[in-house]
Amino acid sequence: MAEEEIGEREERPHFAGLVGIDWLDDDPDRARARLEVRDELLQPFGLLHGGVISTLVESACSRATALAVIGDGMAAMGQSISVNFARPITGTGSAEVRARARHRGRTTWVWEAEVLDDAGRLCASALMTIAVRPLPEGG
């Protein structure tokens, strides 16, 4: 049920599809996603834009949380994010987020995440809080 409902919602245009996120693992304890670096995702100096890296983190954490709670009539949405950039991701290859749920509460989930480049090097670390709320009417 949860995957079907998320799948139906993803058939509509959405930001993660625009950016090009590939879902690798939707486990509610450990989520993974990847995106291919493309020219339109780079900042002017040829590095993957920090907003894209933040999007990758938020999308993976929100999706994994949503899949876990939607069966209970709940939705998941980003509440706060803190991203620390350690090294740049250049204009080739991919970026992968590996996120681990640290707290799975009734109204909030907290995730720790790492963003790695193709060589497996740490490029960013993040702390993401997801709000868990009733599904909006008609949403």
Task: Report yes or no: 34 and 96 within 8 Å, Cβ to Cβ.
Answer: yes
Task: Report yes or no: 58 and 42 within 8 Å, Cβ to Cβ.
Answer: no
The answer to whether residue 8 scores a pLDDT higher than 80 is no
Among the listed residues 3, 5, 8, 58, the single catalytic one is 58
Domain for residue 121, yes or no?
A: yes
Supply the range of the domain harboring residue 80. 2-134
Alpha-helical segments (H) within 1-139: 2-11, 15-19, 50-69
CATH number at residue 98: 3.10.129.10
Under DSSP, is residue 128 helix (H, G, I), strand (E, B) or coil?
A: strand
pLDDT in tens, 67-79: 999 999 999 999 9
Domain for residue 23, yes or no?
A: yes
What pLDDT sits at residue 139? 54
**Mean pLDDT score, 28-34:** 96
Domain count, the chain: 1
Task: Report yes or no: 87 and 48 within 8 Å, Cβ to Cβ.
Answer: no
pLDDT in tens, 45-61: 999 999 999 999 999 99
Domain for residue 98, yes or no?
A: yes
Q: Phi/psi at 16 (nearest 5 deg)?
A: -60, -35
Active site residue 137: no
Amino acid identity at 37: V
Domain for residue 139, yes or no?
A: no
In 37-76, which positions are buried (b, 16+ CB within 10 angstroms) versus exposed (e)? beeebbeeeebbeeebbbbbbbbbbbbbbbbbbbeeebbb
